Structure formats: structure tokens, C-alpha cells
A and B are shown apart, each in its own frame.
Chain A
Amino acid sequence: MMRVVRGFYAVAHSVKLCRPDVICAYPITPQSEIVENIAQMYANGELGNCEYITAESEFGAASILVGASATGARTYTATCSQGLILMSEVLWCAAGMRLPIVLTIANRSLSAPLSIWNDHQDSMAMRDAGIIQMYVENNQEVHDMMPQAFKIAENHKVMLPMMVCMDGYKLTHAYEPVDLLSQEMVDEFLPPYDPPVKMTTKEPYTFGSYATPASYMEFRAAVYRAMDRSRKVIEDVYKEWAEVSGRDWGGHIVAENCEDADVCVMAMGSLVGLAREVTKEMRDEGKKVGFIKIRTFRPFPAKEIAKAVDNAEKVIVFERSLSMGSDAPVTLDVKSAIHKKAIDVYSPVVGLGGRDVPHKLVKSVVEEVMENRVEPGTYFRGLKDCEEVIV
């Protein structure tokens, strides 16, 4: 059923259809409306036997879900920014304990200075935790992703938390037409959670043992391998979704016009739509530009990217975050993926803290690369002239 809804509702409605057992969250801008909508569904008795809990903090929320997930419940939360990094201690632990908690991240910048607006610094800070990360470009995609996320995370070959990242405000609060899923379709696609082990007095297991140097490494290697195995599981689920829903969002990446491109442009999240449009226009102008939408960020689709840019001389990675003292996170992975190729990597950092990224900025970034007016490396675009006063 096609309806015009806002992003937060597209998420909440989809989460409801996934029949989670325990939802726990703490409100934070701009995620609040996701959990407010879920709270209203709970208040209306629309969530079945689901327990919906407002925690005392994001740290508490993630901890509650660790207990619930270990007990065999399908678990969900949403957060962003300060809330996500407050959760981070527990989320690393959830990944190590192989608990398939699903999160929606309403991407928002990190303090200081305080900013409630969008970029990707929050989810990038969780890069190495052992959490699957994927980024959506619009509200239909996030609506479609929630059942897929549970199916991926809860796969016994995977058993890892998963973050579905959507740009705060830009998507969470945007009105878009969304074809709302039906309960029947989600029920058919997503079986109930069947954990390989769970906390039960009938068969008592110990969860969260500590490990001496004699066994710690094997546990961490197991998380690494599970993340690696998830590549195939994610691809299969993406494909299955395309079949059952009729909407094919592609694989880990979606490469367009890259085969003969001199320059390949990459983006993640809500910038994808604009970047795709700009590169298409430039194609129409006869410029050999290709475009790559990165959907899965962890596990990183290195092989897919290397293959897609095989014929390019230059790649441009639009970055919405930073790694202080190094290249930005996506760039680091792209460079690693293509390290055997003689390709120059340009890493324009744009749109931090919700700074607008208009059409002409995207176009000018691509043009200056094509016209050799900029050196490869990390640089800011859309930055005002400012003088740093060192006292």
C-alpha cells in the first residue's frame, strides 16, 4: 500500500511487522520519533506480546537488550550520535557474545560542538565493533531493510548485531511515498527468531565468560569469521528480498556506468540520490563518469569495489565523516581495496554537522577532479574560510 509517510514512521511500521519480542530505547534527536511511534503502537496494543521499555539511558537500553537477546528474544533499538557512543561499550560486548540485536541509526554528528544534524561520524565510530553496518538512500529502502536486517543478523552463520543507518532529519523526517509492507508478506519472509542457544533454566549455559590468553583470541577470530561469512548471507537476503518484494536494491554495492568510466564517484546514505543524478547529468554531457552506491559498509565490499573501478583512473569518495590524523573511514577501505591498482583516490569531506551539500557542490567536486584542479587526498568542500587563532 503506497502512502506518503515520514522516515521515522517507515521504520516504526516495518519494525512492528517484524514482531520483535523486546524493544528498548532511550529518546534522542532525531531518532525520537521512531521510538515515539513504536511507543504509540505499544500503547494501542498493536505489538502483540512485545515488551516495550524506555530505559534510563542508551547504555541501559543496549544492556537490557543484551539480557533479552540472550534469553531468546528478538530485540530492537534505535539511536544515534551521543546515544550510540554511550551504547558502544555494550554493543562491542553484544557482538562478542553473538547477540543479533538490530538497530536503526538516525545518523547524527558527534559533540563537540553539539550538533543535532546529520553526518556519519557516529556510526563510523562503531566501525570495528563487530556490528554489520548498511546505509540506505531513502525511506522505502529503510522500510524494506528492517525485516532483512533481522534475517541477516539472526542467521546462525552470522549471529551478530546489525545497524541499519539512515541519515538523521534528511531521511528520518522527510516525507516520501513508501509502499508499506503487509504483515503477511513479512511473516512469510522472516521466520520467528530461533536462537542456537539461550538462557533457560531447563538447560543452563554460562554466557559472557571471561577468557584467558589461552582462549580470547579464538573468540575474536570467530567474530571476524562470522562477519566474513555474513557477506554471502547478506547478498542472499538482498536477493531474496528483491524476489519477494519486487524491489531490487542491489547487492553490497550498486555500480552504475562504471565499466568505461575514467572517474568513479562513491557515496553512502541520502547523498546517493544526488550524487547519482549529478553523475548521470555529466554522462549526458559526454563525460566518462561512473557512480557507486555503497550499501554494506561492514563487512566492507572490497572485492566488489575493486572490480567495479577496474577501468577507472580516479575515484572520488564523498565522505560524511573523519578519522582525525588519517584519511576518512570509507576512503581508507577503498584505498585498501584497490591498493594494487594505479588509481588516484580523492576524498572530499562534505556535509559535516548537517552542512548542506547542494547539487552544484557535488558537481564542482567531480569537475575539479576531472580537470586535474585538485590533488588526490583528503580535503574539505563546502567549508567556509576561517582563521584558527592559536593562543
Chain B
Amino acid sequence: MKITFIAADGTVTPVEVTAGESIMRAAVQNDVDGVIGECGGSMMCATCHCYVDDAWTDAVGPQEDGESDLLDCAASEVRASSRLSCQIKMRPELDGVVIHLPESQL
């Protein structure tokens, strides 16, 4: 399965992942700049903030319970497409998903 990360400066990084992997882990494990994931996906921080590409927001789905409160603490602007990437697990219908990264996570 494929994820395409687009950094705030326009850098495009395609990454191969397996189903069940979170988008946060995929970014961290593939050394994609712009995602920190400080708490390891425990919903304890907001350092894996991402913007889901407009073409993919329906497939990815809305924020999970509690996510918006964490995003209130995010360092960059929160938009309708904002998600915590640790809460998005890869599944077949997300193959090819495009994820935009904010300028800063801290």
C-alpha cells in the first residue's frame, strides 16, 4: 500500500506500508520530516498533526473522539482536514492516500 506525504515546502515522499500500520508510524519509520509522534500514538500529544488531501477526506473519515481537543494544542493551523496521523490506520481503501504535513509540530 502507498502513502504520499507532501511537506509544507512541497517535498513529496512516497512510502510503502502494510495494512494496519498508522500513518504516523509510516512517516516516522520512513524518516519523513514533519511528523514527530512523540508519545508513540498514545493520544498524549499533537505532534503527528497532518492534513488529509481533499480527494481523500471522505475515505479517511472524520476525527475520532478526543482528537479535536488534542488538535487544539497543535502547533500549526487546524483545518477541517486536520487529523492526528497516529489515529489513521492503513486499510485497503486508503491505498494511495495523500497526506499534507504542517510547517511545524512544536
Is this pair of chains taken from one and the same complex? no
* Chain B residues packing against A (C-beta within 8 Å): none
* Chain A residues packing against B (C-beta within 8 Å): none
